[in-house]
A and B are shown apart, each in its own frame.
Chain A
Amino acid sequence: MTSLSKYLLIIVLSSLTFSLKAQSLLDMLEEENKIEMDTIIVAGTFKSTRLINGQTSEICGKNQMNFIVSHRFGDIKMGGYEFWGLDHSLIRLGLEYGLMNKLDIGIGRSNENKLIDGYIKYKILSQSSGAKKMPITLTWYSSMAYTDQTWSDPNRDNLFTSRLFYVHQAIISRKFSDRISLQITPGVVHRNLVENNDDQNDVPYIGFGGRIKLTRRISLNGEYFWVLPGKTAENTVNSLAIGFDIETGGHVFQLHFSNSRGRTEQGIPNNVNDWMDGEFGFGFNIIRNFNLKK
């Protein structure tokens, strides 16, 4: 090797080693951090357990309790005399409690149809990143509802079972980014009693919902329930709701407009309110979180 190339080699080698030494300690830590990742379970997909009228994939968590007031005013089309629906109120009061880390139970009563509903909600899969990756959150929701309404025709032999309604749905959600979360909820509403033989006792539907976070505490929410084609779908209008979530520490306030019937999924097959006819109303939900852990 010539003298020149020897010197060049020394210069190149020494600059290489010195630049290696110049990698900052912090850079080294960050590189290490990327390799040995823990599993991070995604939290805060939605601000609360309710999207607008329907459920989100969130659950309370152990020993947490939510008090939920779901309030809807009457339809805008009622006009000025009824103060555009504000004179009428449709309301559901509910409580839900985290029995275990992944299991919620809840109960509530709506004044529409004097419906008392009880449910369980179980988080089967949690979205996570890092060492163990899970792309979605999957929560199961099952509810049973009882209508306390007096029989429309007391003279005939009315069955107790005719007062019962069931809803079963799978809530599949994904938090795409800090700002955007979307969910899909395929489900079925079961009515024990329908009018005609060719009416559906089981009404399948798919819900679509999502939120866009506008600020750290405010998000824009949307929800749509599509009743699958069938006899019920012909006489039903799909429920559409749009609103804002405002989170203030222990409360989430949800202000929205919606055409839905009923404050729970049981109302999906009964909806005949059409947005185009002004048959939608303003509503608000308040969800207050209580920590029952000592």
Chain B
Amino acid sequence: MKKTLISFWFITLLAGCTYDSEEELYGTCDTLNVTYSTVRPIFEANCISCHNQSVNNKGIILDTYNDAVEAAETERLRKAINHLPGVTPMPYLMDKLPACPVLKVTVWIDNGTPQ
């Protein structure tokens, strides 16, 4: 019984153990021509469940272009996803998003939030 348990544990231990890095899997981050269409999927995956027109947490709405631009202009969007002081870090109760999505959104804001 004990031996079965130990071997079972050993197998699950090794199962799914990899040594990957984003750089290796996905290459460097592409921040050329970042528009709202580029960043919307990022918002959809991580933000829109709470920051949409119906739920509207803290007045930040990201599911339409105009609202997203407004959010960008308050500087709170940039600070939240970069986990800078002064605002609650976002996504809420999660680790900071990986560097690439954060960079894409930051670049989009810096470039004047093109549509």
Contacts and interface: CB of A to CB of B under 8 A. Distances in A.
Direct contact of A and B (CB under 8 A): yes
Interface of A: 78, 82, 88, 90, 100, 103, 111-114, 120, 142, 144, 149-157, 159-162, 164, 166, 168, 190, 192-197, 199, 201, 261, 270, 272, 277
Contacts of A88: 88, 93
B97 A144 contact: no
B7 to A, nearest CB: 13
Contact of B26 (A120, A142, A156): A156
A118 B101 CA distance: 30
Given A142-B9, A166-B17, A197 B24 contact: yes
A120 B93 CA distance: 26
Contacts, number: 90
B112 to A, nearest CB: 23
Interface residues of B, number: 32
B32 interface: no
Contacts of A155: 41
A159 B20 contact: yes
Contacts of B26: 156
Interface of B: 2, 5, 9, 12-13, 16-26, 41-42, 44-46, 83, 85, 88, 93-95, 97-101
Contact of A150 (B2, B18, B25, B46): B46
Contacts of A120: 9
Nearest to B88: A78
B86 to A, nearest CB: 10
